[in-house]
Amino acid sequence: MDWKHSAWGRALACVGIVLIFLAAPAGLQAESMRVTLLGTGTPNPHPERFGPATLVEAGSQRLLFDAGRGVTIRLNQLGIPMREVTAVFITHFHSDHLVGLADLWLIGWLPPNYGRRQTPLRIWGPSGLGKITAGMEQAYATDIAIRVKDEALPRSAAKFDVNEYTEAGIIYEHDGVTVTSFEVNHGDLIKPAYGYRIDYAGRSVVISGDTRFDENLIDAAKGVDLLVHEVVAIPKALFAVNPAMKRVEAHHTTPEEVGTVMSEARPRLGVLTHYVLTSGPGIPPETKDQVLARVKTNYSGPVVAGHDLMAIEVGESVAVVGGEP
């Protein structure tokens, strides 16, 4: 019997379609947040790990934390137009956290469907952010003037709506979403430097920013649903070849220290990001699995090695829901 074209075959095929439909991933639940790692890398121009950027979707809002290299590409891969980024939050002023900002700002203003923003790009960050955005507006003034005349784009949308803060605390409240900044220790000379906590509908997410081991971060993250934490793993053999890498390591959190942070904070799920993994001649970088194993020497709770486009839903459960590596 030709089961494919028989009545039974057609019926089973229909059932199969229904089952596939029912098993398809559901959309974001009303009282959940979705966190997507848009970039888990560093200044290293790695083709699989773009610059630091994390998207938090809560209710109708899409909040972007840092804007590293390739952030617009990752948003486009998700089918999210740049105009739908509600607000941007910058942790500190190292270039790898900022180089994608001009791209997001200007591409989001262009006429194609990935753009069409009609208002200034709203952005929050520590004191000094306005100087950076003003510099960008000056750098691209010629491009902006041309496009206003040639493409009839609204000049008002080719601006930033800058919101600076000078101390830790609640910096953003809108439609049930609260963003709280907290200071982190990224090094004596790297100030200001902040992490962020996002609260919505009883759910909570903490993004570490770049930091050494820091009790302040632990306090902000205690009992949080999801803790997204940076990590450094530089082979010791590299220090003799490139002594500067020892100074780089000193500005970040080792896997064992990340494990200690998570064991004290006790998040429902921990995720690793911003992998500072460096290599040299004959000295290979550590793998994500090796880094994760080192974290687990000090932490027995749930923790995963993040990767670009990994998505985590934070609701009744906290689970990875998309973005295969």
The Cα 140–Cα 124 span in angstroms is 21
Query: Is the confidence at residue 137, as pLDDT, over 60?
Result: yes
Choice among 96, 199, 210, 225 that is catalytic: 96
The answer to whether residue 96 is catalytic is yes
Question: Which pLDDT value is given to residue 27?
Answer: 59
pLDDT score of 324: 77
Yes or no: say if 200 and 226 are a contact pair by the CB < 8 Å rule.
Answer: no
Give tens-digit pLDDT for 247-256: 999 999 999 9
Question: Does 258 have pLDDT greater than 60?
Answer: yes
E-assigned strand segments in the chain: 33-39, 53-58, 61-65, 87-89, 121-126, 160-165, 169-174, 177-183, 194-200, 203-207, 226-233, 269-277, 303-305, 311-314, 318-322
In the predicted structure, residue 164 carries a pLDDT above the cut 50: yes
CB 59 within 8 Å of CB 34: no
* Rounded Cα gap, residues 185 and 1, in angstroms: 71
The 10s digit of each residue's pLDDT in 278-309 is 988 999 999 999 999 999 999 999 999 999 99
pLDDT per position as a tens digit, 179-213: 999 999 999 999 999 999 999 999 999 999 999 99
pTM of the full predicted structure? 0.90
Distance CA 245, CA 234 (A): 8
Of 2-6, 271-275, 312-316, least confident by mean pLDDT is 2-6
Instruction: Burial-class residue 296 by CB neighbours within 10 Å (0-12, 13-18, 19+).
Output: middle
* Nearest alpha carbon to residue 46 among 290, 277, 324, 281: 277
How many Å apart are CA 70 and CA 44, to the nearest integer? 12
Cα 124 to chain center, whole Å?
15
C-alpha–C-alpha distance, residues 103 and 85, integer Å: 13
State the Cα–Cα distance between residues 242 and 212, nearest whole angstrom. Answer: 21
- DSSP label of 286: P
Q: Is 17's pLDDT higher than 90?
A: no
What pLDDT band is residue 30 in, cutting at 50, 70 and 90? confident
| β-sheet bridge partners, residue 200 | 177, 203
Q: What is the pLDDT of residues 102-117, one digit of tens each?
A: 999 999 999 999 999 9
Residue-level pLDDT at 53:
98
